[in-house]
Amino acid sequence: MNPPRRPPRHQGFTLVELMVAVAIGLFLLAGLSSLLVANVKTRSELDKSSRQIENGRYALHLLGDELQLAGFVGVSSSTAFGTVAPVACPATIAELGYTATTSPGTSNVPFPIYALSTAPGCLENVKANTAVVVLSRVSTNVTAAASPSAAEIYFQLSTCATDTLPFIVAGGTASNFTLKQKDCLASNPSALRKVVQRIYFVSTCNECGTDTIPTLKVAEYVNGAMSIKPLVEGIENFQMDYGIDMDANGSPDCYTSNPGSPPAAEVATAVCPQTTPAYDWTVANTNWSNVVAVRVHVLARNTETSPGWTDTRTYDMGLGTGVVGPFNDATKRHVYSTVSRLMNVAGQREQ
């Protein structure tokens, strides 16, 4: 009787088996590599889109906050004063647009909002065909009349019935400010508020000379000169439509892209029914003083290109510019729009 035979012991892999195993491994590695690359690309595009969304949202937030404060002149009603266009790049205090007189109803403050048709000399690298907007107000923070900063310009409002001037705008020397509070005591002068004038515009660069990223910037009147700083990168276009209150009730009755010279198609009676008495669209200063709301349009773009993407879309930027695009490049874009009310103008007209 023969004993059972043991199965043969494995002596290793054959060359064919090794080559098959290597081929399978390479196939799996290629699949995993493709998945990893796709995930990295998706994450990169998601990060770009997230930054674009945040930039667009933040730009609207900044502009909305500033528009709501535009025209603020302290506890007084701004309707007590006339309004004039400020000089965009003021060289003197008078060019800020504040003029106080002893005759009631003849003092002036600057328009809360005023758009420029051309970029002023104090701005550099302004992107063509984008809005350049001047916003004027005084600070919401008060400074004691006895301790102003010498380099700043301040607004002092009178609430005393015997003061001959309704307000004073002057440099930061305590002796310049003589207006009193409601009790009319010389020992109790009215508080001071810094004069705020800001110009919002789109620049062709964030760090000019280093990059070409379009950026929302602000030029602010500080210490007697305009100081420019970047706010939000990736903002490629910025436009506004202005809501005009034709019947003085605080609500916009008609929107125009240019209150200074409204296009006929935007203010035709078919679009803007006339009020009684009839509204006169030919007086630019009246139109600017009646702006009570603003439609803001911001075109935000990624700061980096997206390989394989071609931007064939068009973007609605409001009445004046209309539709822009397609750009036919590898940059993704999106329009963000909102309506902001000028509370210091509209709120005082409500009945």
pLDDT digits (tens, 9 = 90+) for 64-116: 999 999 999 988 655 579 999 999 999 999 999 999 999 888 899 999 999 99
User: 26: pLDDT confidence band, cut at 50, 70 and 90?
Assistant: confident
Q: How many CA atoms lie within 13 A of 198 on its CB side?
A: 22
- Interval 36-47 mean pLDDT: 75
- Please tell me the distance from the alpha carbon of residue 141 to that of residue 216, in angstroms, as a whole number: 25
255, amino acid identity:
Y
User: 339: pLDDT confidence band, cut at 50, 70 and 90?
Assistant: very high
- Give the long-range contacts of residues 206-212, CB within 8 A, separation 24 or more: 206/230, 206/233, 208/124, 208/125
User: 208: pLDDT confidence band, cut at 50, 70 and 90?
Assistant: very high
**Which residues, other chains included, contact 44 with Cβ-Cβ below 8 Å and sequence gap of 6+?**
none
Proportion of the chain above pLDDT 90, given as a percent = 74
Sign of CA dihedral 63, 65, 71, 74: negative
User: 11: pLDDT confidence band, cut at 50, 70 and 90?
Assistant: low
36 within a domain of the structure (yes/no)? no
For residues 308 and 297, the model is more confident at 297
Residue 46, number of CB atoms within 10 A of its CB: 10
The residue segments making up the domain with residue 228 are 44-349
Q: Is 215 helix (H, G, I), strand (E, B) or coil?
A: strand
The predicted pLDDT at position 170 comes to: 95
pTM equals 0.87
Q: Which has the closest alpha carbon to 263: 247, 248, 236, 241?
A: 241
Would you state the structure tokens that stand for residue 212, as one six-digit string?
Answer: 């070409």
Sign of CA dihedral 339, 344, 346, 347: positive
1 within a domain of the structure (yes/no)? no
Residue 326, number of CB atoms within 10 A of its CB: 13
For residues 170 and 182, is the Cβ–Cβ distance under 8 A?
Answer: no
Q: Report, in angstroms and rounded to the nearest whole number, the Rg of the chain calculated over CA atoms.
A: 31
Residue 158 backbone class (left: φ over 0; alpha: ψ -120 to 50; beta: rest)? beta
The predicted pLDDT at position 29 comes to: 81
For residues 77 and 188, the model is more confident at 188
7 within a domain of the structure (yes/no)? no
Looking at the structure of the chain, the number of domains it has is 1
290 within a domain of the structure (yes/no)? yes
pLDDT at 31 over 90: no
pLDDT one-digit tens code per residue, 115-127:
999 999 999 999 9
pLDDT one-digit tens code per residue, 155-169:
999 999 999 999 999
User: 28: pLDDT confidence band, cut at 50, 70 and 90?
Assistant: confident
338 within a domain of the structure (yes/no)? yes
For residues 214 and 79, the model is more confident at 214
The predicted pLDDT at position 6 comes to: 64
pLDDT at 7 over 70: no
Q: What backbone torsions phi and psi does residue 80 show, to the nearest 5 degrees?
A: -75, -10
The predicted pLDDT at position 73 comes to: 93
pLDDT at 231 over 80: yes
5 within a domain of the structure (yes/no)? no
Q: Is 152 helix (H, G, I), strand (E, B) or coil?
A: coil
pLDDT at 12 over 70: no
6 within a domain of the structure (yes/no)? no
Angle (CA) 293 298 299, round 5°: 160
The predicted pLDDT at position 138 comes to: 96
User: 175: pLDDT confidence band, cut at 50, 70 and 90?
Assistant: very high
27 within a domain of the structure (yes/no)? no
Which residues face 300 on adjacent strands? 235, 334
- Interval 299-326 mean pLDDT: 94
